[in-house]
Amino acid sequence: MTSIPAPSPANHAFRGPVLAAIFDWAGTVLDFGCIAPVTAFREAFALAGVEIGEAEARQPMGAAKREHIELILAQPEVQLRWQGIRGAGSTQDDVDRLYADFLRIDEVNCATYSAMIPGALGTVAALRARGVSIGSTTGYPRSVMDGLAPLAAAQGYAPDCCVTVSDVARGRPWPDMPLANAVAFGVTDVGGCVVVDDSPSGLVSGRAAGMWAVGIAVSGNEVGLSFDDWQAADDAARQRMRLAARTKLEAAGAHYVIDTVADLLPVIAAIDARLAAGERP
């Protein structure tokens, strides 16, 4: 983490360069396809006797994980299925049990699906060489990150700051997590921060914090394929999935959308140029 100069007087606009890059975890820097949480949600519901589809599990991605379960249950078809099988509507006690099962299952899944996304380590190293601080946010609680962070560190990834949903009053789509990173770094202007996230709610959070927002399409939740499955898809299918993901991420406010974090450096250069010209996020 580098030393950052004091803020300029109000009549002098911030002109860059980028001060901090704030990354999501699953689907952005590791776990290509965001497989670990999706599998854990589906397994937790299966233990309760109610099967949910992959799309149903993925729909609220980016939210705090307990809230994610509530949002799955709020989907009309899931709630009807729950009532038909369980004989009554879901309750907060049901949410508590599902969440406890999710945390237990995801602890195992995170170890299984913790591989860094190709190009992530090189991108982070290049950013650090430019003096950019490396932050992170996650919808995982601190208890999950206590297990996942060492697995990432063993592969060479250790952000300068990690803010979990357990550390703030409000998770995504509110700006609390990216702003907590900015405060930790002592940045002089949030316009010098770039949020990189594969979920629409993460991008909304970054925009709400007054930061640049970069969406991750191919390796993230919106495409939702493992690396091997993405590689196996034909060109037409890839383009169709890429376009659908891009459209959704742009609708959430992304200034830029890239396939994976490996494509980030040209975007950082473009943001540097826009900042130098006096542009704001």
Q: Where are the alpha helices (DSSP H) in 138-251?
A: 142-154, 176-185, 200-208, 227-232, 235-251
Name 204's Cβ contacts closer than 8 Å, sequence gap at least 6.
172, 173, 252, 253
Tokens, residue 131: 């003096």
Q: Which one of the listed residues 31, 65, 94, 248 is annotated catalytic?
A: 65
Residue 24: active-site member = yes
Residue 248: active-site member = no
The answer to whether 140 and 166 have CB atoms below 8 angstroms apart is no
Strands of the sheet with 163-164, listed across from one edge: 163-164, 133-138, 20-23, 193-197, 212-216, 256-258
Tokens, residue 72: 């799955």
Q: Which one of the listed residues 24, 94, 101, 176 is annotated catalytic?
A: 24
CA-to-CA dists, residue 199 to 23, 37, 59, 90, 145, angstroms:
11, 13, 10, 26, 18
- Catalytic positions, please? 24, 65
